[in-house]
Structure 1
Amino acid sequence: MATTTSAACPIFSLSLLGRFVLTGPDGAVSLPNKKLAGLLAFLACMAPDPQSREKLSTLLWGSYLDAQAKQNLRQALFKLRQILGQDALRSDGELVSLNAMVIACDVSQFEELVQDGSRDALSAAADLYRGRLADDISVGEECWSEWVAGERERLSELALGAMVTLGGHELSEGRAEQALRTGQRANALNNLREDSHRLIMRALSATGRNAEALKYYRDVVALLKRELSTEPDLATRSLAAELRSNHPQNAAPAAGEVAPEASPPPALVMHGERPSLVVLPFSNMSGDPEQDYFADGVTADIITALSRFRALVVIARGTSFALRDKGMTSQQIAQQLGVQYVLSGQIRKAGNRIRVSAELTHSGSEAQVWSDRYDRPLTDIFDLQDDVSSSVAAVVDPAVRSAEIERARRKPPTNLSAYDLYLRALHHLWGGTREDITKAIDLLRQSLSLDEARSPTLAALAWGLVMASPLGAHTSPDATTEALSLARRAVEQDGTDAFAHAVYGFTLFGPAGDNDQGRIHAVEAVRLNPSSAFAWGTLGMIDSMAGDYENAVTCLHRSLVLSPYDSMLHLWMTGLTASCFALGRHEDGIAWARKSVQHNPGNGTGHRMLAANLVAAGRLEEAREITRRRDATQKTTIRDLRAMRFFKQNDALERYLSAQQVAGVAD
Structure 2
Amino acid sequence: MSGPNGTTVTWRSSSRCRTKIVDRVAGAIEPEMLRMETLRVRRKAPENLTAWELIFRGMWHFYQFTPAEHRCARELFRKAIVAAPDIAEGYTWLGRCNAGTLFFRWSENPAGDMAEGWQAALRAAQLAETDPYAHYAVGIMSVVMGRLHRAMEAAQRSIDLSPSFALGYMLLGMSRLFLGRAGQAIEPFQRGLRLSPHDPLAFLWLHFLAFAHFLTGEYEESLQPALNAAAKRPDLPSTHCALACCLVELGRQREAEQAAAEMQRNSSEGQEELGEFVSRFVNPEQREQIRTSLRKAGWQGNW
Residue in structure 2 matched with residue 496 of structure 1 by the alignment:
130
CA distance change for structure 1 residues 467 and 423 in 2, over 3 Å: closer, same or farther? same
Instruction: Identify, as 1 or 2, the structure richer in strand.
Output: 1
Kindly indicate whether residue 292 of structure 2 is the aligned counterpart of residue 666 of structure 1: no
Residue in structure 2 matched with residue 439 of structure 1 by the alignment:
72
Question: Take 2:65 and 2:226, find their aligned partners in 1: how far apart are those partners?
Answer: 15
Q: 1:517 is aligned with what amino acid? A: R
Residue in structure 1 matched with residue 265 of structure 2 by the alignment:
632
Residue in structure 2 matched with residue 560 of structure 1 by the alignment:
193
Residue in structure 2 matched with residue 618 of structure 1 by the alignment:
251
| Residue correspondence of structure 1 range 222-301 to structure 2 within 5 A | none
Residue in structure 1 matched with residue 41 of structure 2 by the alignment:
408
RMSD (Å), alpha carbons: 2.3
CA distance change for structure 1 residues 638 and 381 in 2, over 3 Å: closer, same or farther? same
CA distance change for structure 1 residues 594 and 434 in 2, over 3 Å: closer, same or farther? farther
The 8 Å contact of residues 74 and 98 in structure 2, kept in 1 or not, is answered as: yes
3-state SS of 2:130 partner: coil
The 8 Å contact of residues 236 and 266 in structure 2, kept in 1 or not, is answered as: no
Question: Take 1:414 and 1:507, find their aligned partners in 2: how far apart are those partners?
Answer: 31
Question: Take 1:500 and 1:471, find their aligned partners in 2: how far apart are those partners?
Answer: 21
3-state SS of 2:144 partner: coil
CA offset at residue 545 of structure 1? 1.4
- CA deviations 1:284-310 (Å, max 9, x no partner) are xxxxxxxxxxxxxxxxxxxxxxxxxxx
Question: Take 2:46 and 2:249, find their aligned partners in 1: how far apart are those partners?
Answer: 50
Question: Take 2:271 and 2:12, find their aligned partners in 1: how far apart are those partners?
Answer: 51
Residue in structure 2 matched with residue 483 of structure 1 by the alignment:
117
In structure 2, runs of 5+ residues without a counterpart are 1-9
3-state SS of 1:581 partner: helix
CA offset at residue 378 of structure 1? 8.6
| Residue correspondence of structure 1 range 129-144 to structure 2 within 5 A | none
Residue in structure 1 matched with residue 3 of structure 2 by the alignment:
none
Question: Take 1:634 and 1:442, find their aligned partners in 2: how far apart are those partners?
Answer: 26
Structure with greater Cα Rg:
1
Question: Take 1:383 and 1:577, find their aligned partners in 2: how far apart are those partners?
Answer: 24
Q: 1:460 aligns with which of 93, 100, 108?
A: 93
The 8 Å contact of residues 636 and 666 in structure 1, kept in 2 or not, is answered as: no
Q: 1:440 is aligned with what amino acid? A: A
The 8 Å contact of residues 636 and 665 in structure 1, kept in 2 or not, is answered as: no
3-state SS of 2:280 partner: coil
TM-score normalized by structure 1?
0.41
CA distance change for structure 1 residues 444 and 653 in 2, over 3 Å: closer, same or farther? same
Q: 2:59 aligns with which of 420, 423, 426?
A: 426
CA offset at residue 382 of structure 1? 5.4
| Residue correspondence of structure 1 range 24-173 to structure 2 within 5 A | none
Question: Take 1:554 and 1:598, find their aligned partners in 2: how far apart are those partners?
Answer: 23
Instruction: Identify, as 1 or 2, the structure richer in helix.
Output: 2
The 8 Å contact of residues 223 and 247 in structure 2, kept in 1 or not, is answered as: yes
Identity %: 23
Q: 2:290 is aligned with what amino acid? A: Y
The 8 Å contact of residues 458 and 487 in structure 1, kept in 2 or not, is answered as: yes
Question: Take 1:565 and 1:477, find their aligned partners in 2: how far apart are those partners?
Answer: 30
Kindly indicate whether residue 285 of structure 2 is the aligned counterpart of residue 651 of structure 1: yes
- CA deviations 1:9-58 (Å, max 9, x no partner) are xxxxxxxxxxxxxxxxxxxxxxxxxxxxxxxxxxxxxxxxxxxxxxxxxx
CA offset at residue 473 of structure 1? 2.3
Work out the number of aligned pairs and report it: 290
CA distance change for structure 1 residues 393 and 507 in 2, over 3 Å: closer, same or farther? same
CA distance change for structure 1 residues 441 and 392 in 2, over 3 Å: closer, same or farther? same
Question: Take 1:665 and 1:429, find their aligned partners in 2: how far apart are those partners?
Answer: 34
Q: 2:301 is aligned with what amino acid? A: A
In structure 1, runs of 5+ residues without a counterpart are 1-376
Residue in structure 1 matched with residue 158 of structure 2 by the alignment:
525
CA distance change for structure 1 residues 388 and 492 in 2, over 3 Å: closer, same or farther? same
The 8 Å contact of residues 587 and 617 in structure 1, kept in 2 or not, is answered as: yes
The 8 Å contact of residues 441 and 465 in structure 1, kept in 2 or not, is answered as: yes
Q: 2:48 is aligned with what amino acid? A: N
Residue in structure 2 matched with residue 372 of structure 1 by the alignment:
none
